Amino acid sequence: MHDKIIGASLPSVMALSYVGDAVHSLYIRKMLVKGGLCKSGELNAAALDYVTAEAQASVMRRIEPHLSEDEHATYKRALNSTHLNKPKHASAADYRAATGFEAVVGMLEWIGDTDRLSYLMELAYGDVSKSNDNN
């Protein structure tokens, strides 16, 4: 078990997902700005490629094999939560996976494990951020 999680008072997975959504959105915004986009309309349009349930579910499938036991447990709790709203533009499976992804991101932010969060984001988006650096 991860040392920072032992004895930690974690919020519910839905609260972690809420925090994770904000953290992920900020990460994507910074990545896009570093990539050279500067107009708000362009930034908002480009961000949609990364912040939809489908995009987050895809990222989750990419990083899931690399999750720690605690991260995977958080992901599964969020994935199986009965409190999820019915998705409007995504499949239920993608919406659940995206919620799980956000919960993992939120948990890492909550416990202050920025190194681990950076590692997972690099796994998720390293190819995109590296191509942005080459522009």
Six token digits for residue 74: 């958080």
Distances (CA, A) of 39 to 12, 21, 32, 121: 36, 22, 11, 24
- Catalytic residue list: 21
Q: Could you give the residue ranges of the DSSP H alpha helices within 52-91?
A: 53-63, 69-79
Six token digits for residue 4: 């920072």
- Among 53, 100, 94, smallest CA distance to 76 is for 100
The residue with tokens 């032992």 is 6
